Chains A and B, each alone.
Chain A
Amino acid sequence: MALKQEGRDRYKNFTRRALLIGGAQGLLFSALAARMYYLQILEADKYATLAEDNRINLRLIAPPRGRIVDRFGTPMALNQQNYRVVLVREQAREVERTLDSLAHIIDLSERDYRRILRETSRKRAFVPVTVQDNLTWEQVSRIEVNAPDLPGVSIEAGQTRNYPYAEPLTHILGYVSAVSEKELTGDPLLELPSFRIGKQGIEKQYDLDLRGAAGNSQLEVNAFGRAIREISRDEGTPGRDLVLTVDAELQTFVHMRLQNELSASAVVMDVQNGDVLSLASTPGFDPNLFNVGMTNETWNGLISDPLSPLTNKAIAGQYPPGSTFKMAVVLAALEAGVAPDHRVFCPGFITLGTSRFHCWKRNGHGWLDMYGSLRESCDVYIYDVARKAGIDRIAEIARRLGLGADTGIDLPGEKPGLIPTRDWKLATTGEPWQLGETLVSGIGQGFVLATPLQLAVMTARIANGLRVTPRLTRPPLDGEAPAELASLGFPNDHLKVVRTGMDQVVNSRRGTARGSSIDIEGQEMAGKTGTSQVRRITMAERAAGLSKNKDLPWRRRDHALFVAYAPVHAPRYCCAVVVEHGGGGSSTAAPIVRDILLEAQRRDPAVNPPIQLVAGERPA
């Protein structure tokens, strides 16, 4: 019985303790349930968000860049489908063997091999590695045909910017290139490895318009980053197409015409509205090189070239305008009350104090009136009237004609030139203005600097007396008539004096550019030559007899300039050409301007209307 009693005690004890343990386990299970409630109900939103963040990967889709077309709709910058061959490691059974087979179709250098092997081993197995970019059609089709023998190899299509005109339009259009570190604005679009932004020219100026808005693709990804499926896709907004005022064919012509010279620039404008039809600067470069990647050698060649092919000299080249500045002086003199028939005798020089100021014509022009001073580009006459007008008045007129300040053309990198005044000199050098400097400024030398574009604007403003400003794009009309151009405030008879002088420069027997006249009725041009020195001619040189330009080293030769508008009686086009170190304005620059203005007028739809096909009719 004692044993039995003991067994009963043991059972009682066991029962008590088993129930205790069971109770404890019940409590712990309740804790689990509470924890589940906490995670799945109270914190559910937080974890649901985290799960979505895990799962969804937003990928940007780069919008197609807007095209750039010329005034007739001819594309000058467009996007070209480009094909590259990529390799996916996990699909290629053996990367090296596949590359060997691929090498029979495309050229693969030892360096390519190493790069591809390095990238494939470093990146995740499903990430495509670019084997080669910019494949030709033939290569693409040969790879496609051999696809069964090339596991893991596929062709991907991308877009590259293409400039069909290449060099002639490069300074207007600029180019696109990969985004640099300091251009990052926080816009994730810019961080796409294949994204390109405008670096120069119109591409830079209108980059935001051309760029468009990024689309995006919501991808479901797994823990390794592999895309499983696309959840939604927004293609984004393609970039806006841009119509320029440029005439691509004329631009090509101008570019070709400048090829005879080492370094030159030209601007052709519509004097009525400021449309820039052509804006050329030579030498140039092929903007397509910036897309497909250029070698270091090519790049170093471009930046160290003394002819600075990367600079758009038409807007950023600042030259002493030489005699092309004389129109401003004549207008200032007229405003100062000098009459057009004011006569000056030119003996070849004038003396001011102890200094002698020479005319370009050593033996002098003799007696000349105001028209003659322009026609024959007499320095002595200009010295005389410049003195009468005073530098500040000349400066004011020059500024009104568009010199000495940015013209406001829609291109980056424009230079303002320089028109000196008394105050300017005092402020910058601390010295007072000298009268001699007025004389030197009068013939567009000394401090005076202008860009070819400014000279074109000046010519346009003289030709129609209105505040013409250059533009490469037309503002959207929005149904309204284009705003009238404001008058510059020059009296008509003053402008007429200058225009007549310019007419005589080309079309009079004694004009400095008589050799470059246009003989087609209604297309004649009026212009002004300029030859600006880049060095001071010493007394000793002058005594020894002036050396001819062609005997000087190129760097020390004079710049050749010519500005003109046509037709002379109903101005439509103006043109300015600066040939760096080209020698004389009349001998070098004037013939170029003549050819350009002839071509511009030949291409004018009003002169040669394009053939219109009437429906149902065929030209015989």
Chain B
Amino acid sequence: MTRPRTSLLFGTTAGLRNPEMSLSEKLWQINWTLVLLICAIAGTGFAMLYSAADGNMDPWASRQMARFGAGLGFMFAVALVDVRFWYRHAYVIYLAAFALLIAVELIGSTGMGAQRWIDLKVIQLQPSEVMKVALVLALARYFHGVALDDIGRVTFLLVPSALILFPMALVLKQPDLGTGIMLAAVGVTVFFCAGVRIWKFALATALGLAAIPIAWQFLLGYQKQRIATFLNPELDPLGAGYHILQAKIALGSGGLSGKGFLLGTQSHLNFLPEMQTDFVFTMFAEEFGLAGGLTLLGAYALLLAYGFAIGLRSRNQFGRLLAVGLTCNLFFYVFINMAMVMGLVPVVGVPLPLISYGGTAMLTVLGGLGLVMSVYIHRDVRISRHGPGDEM
């Protein structure tokens, strides 16, 4: 039934016909090029945090390195766990993340005017970040069990829509527009990959557009302000438009080759807002210019390409949807963050994955990448539509 396969991207897969592998076999299966790429991007992040602190390891770079170290271990752990385990526990993880979202609503700490964190002493946990991964898991599991023909029926879309909308509502209530948008976008992408008819997206888009005036009513003052500012930042250069304008100045003044490491004036003279978190890319582009910016963008593109390839290579629908869904999640992080600091979309508070300073995002991004790797390691595992116990 199974036959040996060779893949252009991943070399030989001989010896993997038996899905039950030993630990050492699995370790050999880890795609070390991908790990190297992840480390390179994170390393860039350390350099930027070092620069953001005017050439000091403290307060950011050293802590970010420790987190990355822990996160890398977490990633490997997740990667080595059998993908069927993740399949079985997808809903449990989703429910746990959902419980955390409710918990943050009740006992969470307030930061920047929004309830986002649960203080776990070791780490300031942001359940909304965890939710991004959990949602993909749950949707992948759900669509894995739905036949292509059934996807055409509206009734089969009610459950996954609810899976998206409930956490989204909680996140928007925090209020965190950026994560809310990302949850919706990731969810929609998984829908799309699962084979939901295209006209349904068209309909949803039309409905969504029609709902904008109503949604506007629910936006908070600062969110409306951000959108207004985005539409015309130069209108109020010292007020709300200040951040966008300063970010654009930092980017633009970087030029082709940048001002040099540690030599960015916009960042080191504090003109850049939140340069260690959401605006870290502007600092990078100021110090390394267009050349550096394109290189980083290329590195991310390569990371995404790996994700897609892994998805396409997987032999089970759960793995495919999981890999592509998580890759899209990563894409939305990168795209929204960069577009926002370049003044292409409103400022909505999305970090640059692996680079921005922050614990939860680092762990969830690495955890997500771990899942992608798990999908790769267990690419030849077959899971029946009705679950791994019912294998053919």
A residues whose Cβ falls under 8 Å from a Cβ of B: 3, 6-7, 9-11, 13-15, 17-22, 25-26, 28-29, 31-33, 35-37, 39-41, 43-44, 46-48, 50-52, 54-55, 220-224, 228
Q: Which of A22, A46, A222 contacts B304 (CB 8 A)?
A: A22
Complex-state Cα separation, A368 to B233, whole angstroms: 97
Q: Is the CB of B328 within 8 A of A21?
A: yes
Q: How many A-B residue pairs have CB under 8 A?
A: 138
- Contacts of B265 on A, CB cut-off 8 Å? 51, 54-55, 220
B107: CB under 8 A from chain A? no
Complex-state Cα separation, A223 to B342, whole angstroms: 20
Q: Determine chain B's interface SS by DSSP, over half rule.
A: helix
What's the least CB distance linking A375 to chain B, in Å? 83
Shortest beta-carbon contacts, A-B, top 9: A47-B252, A51-B253, A222-B269, A223-B270, A40-B290, A44-B255, A48-B253, A47-B253, A223-B271
- Contacts of B289 on A, CB cut-off 8 Å? 40
Give the interface centre of B148, B252, B324 by most chain A CB atoms within 10 Å: B252
Give the interface centre of B193, B253, B312 by most chain A CB atoms within 10 Å: B253
Complex-state Cα separation, A20 to B271, whole angstroms: 40
B285: CB under 8 A from chain A? yes
Q: Is the CB of A25 within 8 A of B304?
A: yes
Q: Is the CB of A18 within 8 A of B266?
A: no
Complex-state Cα separation, A26 to B317, whole angstroms: 23
Q: Which of A13, A18, A20, A32 contacts B148 (CB 8 A)?
A: A13
B227: CB under 8 A from chain A? no
- With A18-B308, A36-B290, A40-B289: A228-B269 Cβ-Cβ less than 8 Å: yes
What's the least CB distance linking A46 to chain B, in Å? 7
Given contacts A13-B195, A32-B339, 11 further A-B contacts (CB under 8 A): A3-B385, A15-B312, A21-B193, A33-B297, A35-B344, A40-B254, A40-B256, A50-B252, A55-B265, A55-B269, A220-B269
Q: Is the CB of A221 within 8 A of B269?
A: yes
Complex-state Cα separation, A258 to B342, whole angstroms: 79
Instruction: Using CB atoms, name the residue of chain B closest to A50.
Output: B249
- Contacts of B301 on A, CB cut-off 8 Å? 26, 29
**Interface size, chain B (Cβ < 8 Å):** 50
Complex-state Cα separation, A147 to B320, whole angstroms: 72
Contact with A along B297-326 (1 / 0, CB 8 A): 100110011001001100001001100100
Q: Which of B148, B311, B335 contacts A10 (CB 8 A)?
A: B148
Complex-state Cα separation, A102 to B328, whole angstroms: 65
B residues whose Cβ falls under 8 Å from a Cβ of A: 147-149, 189, 192-195, 246, 248-256, 265-266, 268-271, 285, 289-290, 293-294, 297, 300-301, 304-305, 308, 311-312, 317, 320-321, 324, 328, 331, 335, 338-339, 342, 344, 385, 392
Instruction: Using CB atoms, name the residue of chain A closest to B338.
Output: A32
Instruction: Using CB atoms, name the residue of chain A closest to B317.
Output: A10
What's the least CB distance linking B75 to chain A, in Å? 22
Q: Is the CB of B248 within 8 A of A39?
A: yes
What's the least CB distance linking B265 to chain A, in Å? 5
What's the least CB distance linking A512 to chain B, in Å? 79
What's the least CB distance linking A74 to chain B, in Å? 51
Q: Is the CB of A39 within 8 A of B304?
A: no
- With A6-B148, A54-B265: A35-B320 Cβ-Cβ less than 8 Å: no
- Contacts of B304 on A, CB cut-off 8 Å? 22, 25
Instruction: Using CB atoms, name the residue of chain B closest to A22.
Output: B308
Instruction: Using CB atoms, name the residue of chain A closest to B293.
Output: A36
